[in-house]
Structure 1
């Protein structure tokens, strides 16, 4: 454990963290919560701004129909404190412009050592000397402006948003459909996938979508039966017939199979040839050149000593754990109950980092784009772990 440093910072003041994302240069960290607020933190984890991103939509009877919960965050551009950020709740995607603000603070009656003096004390010490105000710059804060809203396309709840590598398009997915958007147009969305047409009868729904990190024409989406599909927009613009299908065939046909096989998160690995995916019990590495079976299967819940019926009744089996590939290393990181798990590309569990003494789910996390560190959420707090070279050798 001497190779790991940790930081713990409160971030949302009691409200549950629902997603988090580093900017592309790593200088900003955006954290979304269940009340529709995005918290903006600098690299030293100092909060420098908030965005009231989403609010509760009410029906004619004043009942909530759409939660304000921030479900997805994705940075478009970033340069220091200036950035563009996508956010979404269940139905609406918004594009935000973030920019720094420096306010000047005017100070009166400041003595030489910085002591603040009341008027009578000041006049007594200075023998009725004229008070000259001083000005200094305050700490930098960030403000935001909503540039565009993308809405009206999704009838089901949006589960993921992913930016294409051309920085001109992005994709969004719900249970049944995936749309391709032009960033400069919010009045039109192109339907890439319609699950009602491609899967008959509908025995599965879409759980996530991800664009390739360097090839803007390649899109990945996952489903509740453990299937990963790859669409190539050079081949066809409508991806109802995907270019590649990666399907894990379970040996059992139990009642809980669909729940434990559902892929909650998937990512293209930086090596370009692999995909890493997380379901409830395992992390699977897929070689993109071989779709017949996973290259590696890692059981990350082997220490979970609970009956399947208990997991089902408590709804813990529906937990959507994320998995993230590190940009400069041959390993990934994922969450568990009260722990963060590091896994090598060869399937070896490098470390299990205990975070809390409770069975708290570690669901949301992101890796820093330029350093060997990961930030993850524990209910209403964030933690950071930094890995040094000793641990990676």
Structure 2
């Protein structure tokens, strides 16, 4: 395989049914993907309410994973007061830092957050008793001298998942974000209008720390779209809005953080205004860099990198979907314009990753803005079998667009195939990509 054709990135693994998109059951579509802080475990959640965990395969030299366990996290519910069906779809999964042999992770659907404990449990069975010696049955003992104590032997090891806490009834609107604090004691959950602060050990009480709900709902002009804790300072968190701004809030300042410490917003050029301006400028995801110095944000057409010390304009703006500017009307008609693409930093903060349509995704070098375009698609594992190069483009090619970058601009883009969710290994150049009902893993040398 020619590593230059894809910037050194190679297809490593694919989990899931490799059938045609038309045959996919909606419940199998992956709705979130998340590495833990060590990178040795990987979690996915799907629209059927299931959480699947993968464990690093230590027998392989490369970064490969194997199935670890699967459990049903959420079930469909019905809110009789609002005549509203609550889907079982997992919106987000966040790992807690490992403190002992067990794993703890938070998962949420639209209404209820659960803290799961996942641990190995040994199954023991009775091997000897008064009626059985392991191989054959024994006659009933006739005196107490013949009585024997039963003996237990270990039969098997199983992986169990139990919900330790259920944090319910705290959100009137759909939960879209959860983020565990660096203190590992608290976390935030956010819906369209509010951000709540929880203690991981207390499930029946939360504190509302941001509330942008107007007194009159007819005056509603913006909603919260994403929220995250600062990776180092436990008092700082940020939330983004549909009005193209990011607010940085400090919990030391006041109990209710409606007065933000900083607001990151770029003024729009009035000459570019159109009917779609507000929709495409809505921020779908925000992420702090691992050192906490920068903020990465994704809107419909671009990625932006902000310096936390400079709120006037982003330090870098990276166009992702410039080729779609002329198709906004069609994208509005088929609802694709409302797709919420996630973004993520590499473990070293040197690269950023985000998805696109037709199962394309892009990795950018933060300093040079050179990029790699890859496709999480059946062609990836076909290329691996044959031993051919991954479809891709030269990293930082001087002659401009080629390979997949040309293909991204084609009229034949399939808007039903989209890379919305991805996660980057915290210590290695390995990425996990959710492509409909498949989980793709790519590694770079």
SS of the residue corresponding to residue 236 of structure 1 reads coil
Distance 1:198 1:325, change over 3 A: farther
Give the distance between the partners of 1:253 and 1:66, measured in 2 at CA: 37
Matching residue of 2:111? 91
- State whether structure 2 residue 188 is matched by structure 1 residue 171: yes
Deviation at 1:25, TM superposition (A): 1.4
User: Which residue pairs with 1:211 in the alignment?
Assistant: 229
Residue 175 of structure 1 deviates from its aligned partner by: 0.3
For 1:99, what is the secondary structure of its paired residue?
A: strand
Cα distance in 2 between the residues matched to 1:59 and 1:165: 34
Question: Which range moved further: 181-190 or 44-53?
Answer: 44-53
* Mapped partners of 1:174, 1:244: distance in 2: 21
Seen in structure 2, the aligned counterparts of structure 1 residues 26 and 199 have a Cα distance that, compared at 3 Å, is farther
Please say which of residues 182-191 and 250-259 is displaced more in the overlay: 250-259
Q: C-alpha displacement at 1:30, in angstroms?
A: 1.0
Partner of 1:257: 277
Cα 1:303–1:253 change in 2 (3 A) is closer
Counterpart-to-counterpart distance in 1, 2:80 and 2:163: 26
Pairwise mapping of residues 55-204 of structure 1 onto structure 2 (< 5 A)? 55-59=75-79, 65-78=85-98, 82-101=102-121, 141-196=158-213, 201-204=219-222
CA shift, 1:198, in A, is 10
Q: 1:198 to 1:218 in 2, by over 3 A?
A: farther
Q: Which residue of 2 aligns with 1:35?
A: 48
Partner in structure 1 of residue 10 of structure 2: 5
1:355 and 2:359 are equivalent in the alignment: no
Alignment RMSD (CA, Å): 2.6
Q: 1:177 to 1:305 in 2, by over 3 A?
A: closer
Question: How far off is 1:22 after superposition?
Answer: 1.1
Q: Distance in 2 between matches of 1:376 and 1:210?
A: 21
2:404 alignment counterpart: none
Distance in 1, Cα, partners of 2:295 & 2:30: 26
Counterpart contact for 1:198–1:241, Cα < 8 Å: no
Taking a change above 3 Å as real, the CA distance of residues 180 and 45 of structure 1, as seen in their structure-2 partners, is: same
Match of 2:129? none
**TM-score, normalization by structure 2:** 0.75
Q: CA deviation at 1:136?
A: 10
Greater relative contact order (Cα < 8 A, sep 6+):
2
> Contact 1:28/1:81 (CA < 8 Å) preserved in 2?
no
Alignment partner, residue 54 of structure 1: 74
2:31 aligned residue (18, 24, 27): 18
- Deviation, structure 1 residue 253: 2.7
In structure 2, distance between residues paired with 1:142 and 1:59: 33
* Cα distance in 2, alignment partners of residues 265 and 30 from structure 1: 19
Equivalent-residue separation in structure 1 for 2:33 and 2:275 (angstroms)? 33
Structure 1 pair 188–343 and aligned structure 2 pair: CA distance change class (3 A): same
Give yes or no for the alignment of 1:378 onto 2:440: no
C-alpha contact 1:94 1:146 (8 A) present in aligned 2: yes
| Equivalent pair of 2:298/2:343 in contact (CA under 8 Å) | yes
Note the C-alpha offset of 1:11: 3.5
Find the residue that maps to 1:154 and give its secondary structure.
coil
Q: Which moved more, 1:325-334 or 1:146-155?
A: 325-334
SS across alignment from 1:78: coil
Is 2:12–2:443's contact at 8 Å kept on the other side of the alignment? Answer: no
Unaligned runs of 5+ in 1: 106-134, 389-393
| Residue equivalent to 2:388 | none
In the TM superposition, residue 353 of structure 1 has moved relative to its aligned partner by 1.1
Contact 1:296–1:347 (CA under 8 A) maintained in structure 2: no
In 2, the alpha carbon distance for the partners of 1:141 and 1:147 equals 18
Structure-2 change in CA distance of 1:207 and 1:59 (3 Å) = closer
Q: CA deviation digits over 1:61-110, x for unaligned, max 9? A: 9x7610000111001133797310100010000000000245699xxxxx
Q: Which has the higher strand share?
A: 1
Match of 1:316 in 2: 336
What does residue 295 of structure 1 align with?
315
Correspondence for 1:125: none
Unaligned ranges ≥5, structure 2: 18-23, 57-63, 126-152, 380-412
Q: Which shows bigger deviation, 335-344 or 40-49?
A: 40-49
SS in 1 for 2:205: strand
The alpha-carbon distance between structure 1 residues 257 and 347, as it changes in their structure 2 partners (threshold 3 A), is: farther
Checking the alignment, whether the CA contact within 8 Å between 2:114 and 2:166 is kept in structure 1 is yes
d(CA) in 2 for partners of 1:198, 1:328:
44
Q: TM-score, normalised by structure 1?
A: 0.85
